[in-house]
Amino acid sequence: MTDALFLEPEHEMLRDQVRRFVEDEIKPHAEAWEADGKVPREVLKRMGALGFFGIRYPESYGGAAMDTRATAVWAEELGRSTFSGVAITALVHTDMASVHLFNAGTEAQRDRWMPGIVSGEVITAVGVTEPGAGSDVKGIRTRATRKGNSAYVLNGSKTFITNGVLGDLYCIAAKTDPAGPPSQSVTIFLVEKGTPGFTVARQLDKHGWLSSDTAELHFEDCEIPAENVLGQEGRGFYAIMQNFQNERIVLGAMAMGEAQAAIDLTVDYVKTRQAFGAPLWDKQAIRQRLAMLQARVSAARHLVYATAKRDAEGEEVVKEVSMIKALCGELVNEVMYDCLQFHGGTGFMRGTAIERMTRDARVQAIGGGATEVMLEEVAKRM
């Protein structure tokens, strides 16, 4: 019902294409990527060749010029893959990093980088989070100091950066006016891998999302050409806030894809798992709990697509997007808890999908805006 209300035939065609890719080219191989800690570059190039990295970008750059609803479809189907490390690798590139370049970049910056971004030849990352600044973007300490009229010098560190090792091009937030108002002192810079003074300090070992590389980045007297400023100096805070709306729709759709996949796996399992002489599905408490989880996931998914449609139409959806991030991030963890429980000891074993999915889901209530921060955003607008 949700799809018929909010989606057009082109969105359904995209869903079919992404789902086929997931079944044919992700699921059979992603266990190995979990062990390697990264998604192979050739797989990302294949996503680009199929048009997935250009869903929202203009045809002039090789894209499809679709809307927010397409983003939600893309994210949900990747979430349904059961390999969320693969999903977030792609989604950070398409909807959390490269969007800064597209939204704020000059024509010259776009012409230089967008074709490679869409094709998958250039993988992007975004560096906002620091040891002392996560959801509190105004707390950024990385400094960018003017060097004449032609350059800036970056000093500082970033942490928890998805695609930090894999990336080729980084959108890095830094303070350019430490004495000014926090909301007017952050600037975003394009930093290329290999720039002197920029190092990937270390790859981080995570609880989940194992096929996604996550790193610490370090900048020491890293000189960046002035033409690599992204957008206006001092306007980076607003650019980050603006893209949070898209990012949180993406994360909500991804979480509901994860939750639906977990319910589907668990229903199949309890219908065949015998206990006390009958399938677990025959236990009223189990099937009713799964039915209630399905009802809540369907409702949350409805909110995601309704909000995506409103966003595509240019409406203000900050309150609804904050609700999505809080609701879906918590709900996916509830779903995983019960689904693992209904798998019994099997669900606690490494190598099972539900065990991996439960680990992967935990960060959904943290990354991209912690639940508590999101609820404050909702409360401000009540």
For the chain, the straight-line distance linking the first and the last C-alpha, in angstroms and rounded, comes to 29
Q: What percent of the chain has pLDDT over 70?
A: 98
Task: Provide mean pLDDT across the span 299-321.
Answer: 96
Average pLDDT for 291-317: 96
Q: Is the pLDDT of residue 245 over 80?
A: yes
Which helix (DSSP H) or strand (DSSP E) does residue 271 occupy?
helix 236-272
How many other CB atoms sit within 10 Å of the CB of residue 217? 25
Spatial CA neighbour of 300 closest among 322, 271, 275, 331: 331
pLDDT at residue 307, as a whole number:
97
- What residue has token string 């086929």? 20
Rounded to the nearest integer, the mean pLDDT of the chain is 94
pLDDT at 1 over 70: no
pLDDT in tens, 341-381: 999 999 999 999 999 999 999 999 998 889 999 999 999 99
Q: Is the pLDDT of residue 149 over 90?
A: no
Give the per-residue pLDDT at 2: 65
Q: Is 205 left (phi over 0), alpha (psi -120 to 50) or beta?
A: beta
Which 3 state secondary structure label does DSSP give 368?
coil
Confidence of residue 202 (pLDDT cuts 50, 70, 90): confident
Could you report the per-residue pLDDT of 165-183, keeping only the tens digit for each? 999 999 999 999 888 887 7
Quote the crossing angle between the two packed helices 318-343 and 371-380, to the nearest 10°.
140
Give the containing element (helix H, strand E) for 201: strand 198-203
The model's confidence at residue 242, banded by pLDDT at 50, 70 and 90, is: confident
The predicted structure's pLDDT at residue 233: 87
pLDDT at 136: 67
Q: pLDDT of 3-41, one tens digit each? A: 878 999 999 999 999 999 999 999 999 999 999 999 999
Alpha-carbon gap, residue 367 to 91, rounded angstroms:
13
Query: Residues 6 or more apart from 187 whose CB is under 8 A from it?
Result: 144, 173, 174, 175, 176, 229, 230, 231, 232, 233, 234, 235, 236
Catalytic site includes residue 247 = yes
* Residue 96: alpha-carbon gap to chain centroid: 6
Catalytic residue chosen out of the listed positions 76, 130, 233, 247: 247
Instruction: With CA atoms as reference, report the closest residue to 105 among 229, 192, 226.
Output: 229
Separation CA 150–CA 137 (nearest Å): 27
Alpha-carbon span 200 to 161, nearest angstrom: 10
Q: Distances in Å between the alpha carbon of 12 and those of 82, 87, 140, 255, 311?
A: 20, 19, 40, 19, 19
- pTM recorded for the entire structure: 0.94
Radius of gyration of the chain (CA): 21
Residues of each domain in the chain carrying CATH 1.10.540.10: 2-123
Amino acid identity, position 209: W
Tell me which of 1.10.510.10, 3.40.50.720, 2.40.110.10, 1.20.1250.20 is the CATH number of domain 125-234: 2.40.110.10
Q: 68-72, 79-83, 234-238, 317-321: which has the minimum mean pLDDT?
A: 234-238
Q: List where CATH 2.40.110.10 sits in the chain.
A: 125-234
pLDDT at residue 142, as a whole number: 92
CATH classification of 237-380 is 1.20.140.10, yes or no?
yes
Span(s) in the chain for CATH 1.20.140.10: 237-380
Alpha carbon distance 85, 116 (integer Å): 22
Dig out the tokens for 327 from the structure.
Answer: 């609701």
Per-residue pLDDT, 131:
82
The half-sphere exposure of 153 on its side-chain side, counting CA atoms within 13 A, is 6
Q: Is 173 exposed, middle or buried (0-12, 13-18, 19+ CB in 10 A)?
A: buried
Query: What is the rounded CA–CA span in Å between residue 332 and residue 337?
Result: 9
pLDDT at residue 134 in the model = 62
Angle, in degrees to the nearest 10, between helices 41-49 and 107-119: 110
Q: Strand, coil or helix: what is 43?
A: helix
Q: Is 179 exposed, middle or buried (0-12, 13-18, 19+ CB in 10 A)?
A: exposed
- Between the CA of residue 136 and those of 19, 130, 235, 243, 342, what are the distances in Å? 36, 10, 16, 15, 38
Architecture, CATH, for domain 2-123: Orthogonal Bundle (1.10)
Q: What's the CA gap between 101 and 94, in Å, rounded?
A: 11
Tokens of 13: 């065609």
Model pLDDT, residue 239: 84
Which of residues 283 and 132 earns the better pLDDT score? 283
pLDDT at position 283: 95
Tell me how many helices (H) and strands (E) the chain has: 13, 10
* CA dist., res. 51 & res. 246, Å (int): 19
Which is higher by pLDDT, 1 or 280? Answer: 280
